[in-house]
Amino acid sequence: MKFRPYEQNQITFLPQSIEDLVPKNHLVRALDLVVEQLDLRKLYKSYSEEGQPGYHPKMLLKILLYGYSIGVRSSRKIAEKLESDVLFMYLSAQQKPDFRTISDFRLNKREYLKEYFKDVLQICKKMGLIQLGHISIDGTKVEANSSRKLMLDKEDLFELEKRIEKRIKDILDNAEEIDQQEDRVYGKEKRGDELPDDLSTTEKLLEKIKQAKKHLEENDLKRVSITDPESRIMLTNTGGTDICYNAQAVIDNENQVIVACQISNHEADSKNFIPMYEEVLDNIGNKPKEISADAGYYSGATYLYIEKNHIDAFLPDCKFGVETDDIGNQILGEFDRRKFIYDETDDSYICPNKKKMRFKKNSSRNGVRFRVYQGQSCMDCQYRCKCISKSQAKFREIQIYENDKFKQEMRDKLLSRKGKIKYKKRMLIEPVFAHLKRIMLFRQFLLRGIDKTNCEWNLLCTAYNIKKLSKHLSFVTL
């Protein structure tokens, strides 16, 4: 006989169990095991005892996390999988909640879902996957659920608001005619005081426009999205621009486990170092030995924070790359402020032309204090054109920052042999972002607003960490 028997309609004596169809070492078994270890009591208490019993939140959490782990995030597609995919059927015990139930669970229970990222991290820590020897921080731009056509400036919003208000007035002026038309189409069982569908939809659009205008004015923006005012136009990795959020993550370099994740709508990363580092402390409970990040995370306030908290960081300042060479020499201009010599006898500086610069005032910028010194004999100086960049300025001024010494120490550390090796470790986060975007297919948010996109990013990172755990669960008992 050439072939094995093949009978699609063959009847078996006993029906086959769904569990028998799931491979022993498959991801769904690991995910099922991990979720069973989570403390879901707060989530359970959020449900009312009244009314018809709902689907079990543990089951809904499992199918959501598995959907995110394989790139199936749409509630409608998850609902389809529950009817056709054995692995989803295994997690749901063959129950079939509709897409609205799944969507509402993700949206309405998001404050509880965020907590399970921490709980999964504690399991990772228990299993030795988190060492906190060296952590790396970085961000990646993820497309928001918004259209460029709906990204408008203040004038566009004002003009659109006027048009919508006129549309509402026209609808109200013709309300009687609309009621008569509806009576002919739907019958006279309506009370007659319902809002016309057109009016209801138009009023919702007007409310969105007003909210967008308010957000634009409060945040001093040039343009804002009507559908997602908290999103921003950002430069992407491809060199173009898009409406995005800045998805932040911190990994433990030993096993590339994500130990912190947040969403930011700041294009620059400079404001994210401190909150991300503090989230690591909150999530894990221990201080990492080292941390690395690229120059985008530099700010004067960040350097003060690193110095104050004795953090062993490998973080270059924004001019590090252009002001130092490979062997550690500083490449400074002839009249760079760091070539001015301090004279502590009278709190003054001596310029390269041996002229005095007197203290003028104290000031601060972005939380960093500095002292301003001003030249006294600049008008007749032969180097005036080279030294003073502003043609309108009469005297050269230099600003001496409180963290100048620490900045130089950081440069010296980064240029050392050990520092170069440590700084390169920041690149280990790139494969994590590649996995999230290419394997788990996370290229655009489904939800809108920072709070909701934060929940979605959190779910994705939780699913990613469970995938990391799945490789070790057969060797360790939880």
What Rg, from alpha-carbon coordinates, does the chain have? 30
Specify whether domain 134-141+234-324+411-449 bears CATH 3.40.50: no
Per-residue confidence (pLDDT) for residue 184, from 0 to 100: 46
Distance (Å, whole) CA 31 – CA 426: 29
Q: How buried is 56 (Cβ within 10 angstroms: 0-12 exposed, 13-18 middle, 19+ buried)?
A: middle
Per-residue confidence (pLDDT) for residue 225, from 0 to 100: 77
Q: Which residues of 248-285 are buried (b: 16+ CB within 10 A; e: fewer)?
A: bbbbbbebbbbbbbbbbbebebbbbbbebbebbeebbe
Per-residue confidence (pLDDT) for residue 322, from 0 to 100: 83
**CA 46 and chain centroid, separation:** 27
Distance (Å, whole) CA 121 – CA 355: 60
Contact predicate 475/81, CB 8 Å = no
Per-residue confidence (pLDDT) for residue 475, from 0 to 100: 42
Q: Which of 62, 155, 143, 121 is closest to 252 using CA atoms?
A: 121
Query: Across-strand partners of 140?
Result: 247
Token duo for residue 465: 């960490």
**CA 435 and chain centroid, separation:** 16
Give the start-to-end residue ranges of the domains of the chain. Answer: 18-113, 134-141+234-324+411-449, 148-225, 337-398
Distance (Å, whole) CA 243 – CA 271: 19
Per-residue confidence (pLDDT) for residue 14, from 0 to 100: 55
Token duo for residue 64: 């959501």
Question: pLDDT (tens digit, 0 to 9) for every residue of the chain, 478 residues total?
Answer: 677 776 767 666 655 788 888 998 899 999 999 999 999 999 999 998 887 888 999 999 999 999 999 999 999 999 999 999 999 999 999 999 999 999 999 999 999 988 999 999 999 999 999 999 999 999 999 999 887 776 666 565 556 556 665 565 555 555 555 455 555 444 444 444 444 444 456 566 566 666 666 767 667 677 777 778 888 888 887 778 888 999 999 999 999 999 999 999 998 999 999 999 999 999 999 999 999 999 999 999 999 999 999 999 999 999 888 887 777 677 888 899 989 999 999 999 999 999 999 999 999 998 899 999 999 888 889 898 889 877 668 899 999 999 999 999 999 999 999 999 999 999 999 999 999 999 999 999 999 999 999 999 999 999 999 999 998 875 444 4
258-261 CB contacts, 8 Å cutoff, 24+ apart: 258/432, 258/461, 258/464, 258/465, 259/121, 259/130, 259/132, 259/135, 259/283, 259/284, 260/137, 261/117, 261/457, 261/458, 261/461
Distance (Å, whole) CA 151 – CA 224: 5
Per-residue confidence (pLDDT) for residue 325, from 0 to 100: 76
What SS3 class is residue 110?
A: helix
Per-residue confidence (pLDDT) for residue 367, from 0 to 100: 87
Distance (Å, whole) CA 296 – CA 426: 12
Q: Give the E-state strand segments of 98-219 in sequence order.
A: 134-143, 151-153
Distance (Å, whole) CA 46 – CA 332: 61
Phi-psi region of 242 (alpha: psi -120 to 50; beta: other; left: phi over 0): beta
Q: Which of 415, 398, 421 is closest to 330 using CA atoms?
A: 415
What SS3 class is residue 250?
A: strand
Distance (Å, whole) CA 111 – CA 67: 19
pTM comes to 0.84
Q: Which of 354, 363, 243, 366 is closest to 299 using CA atoms?
A: 366
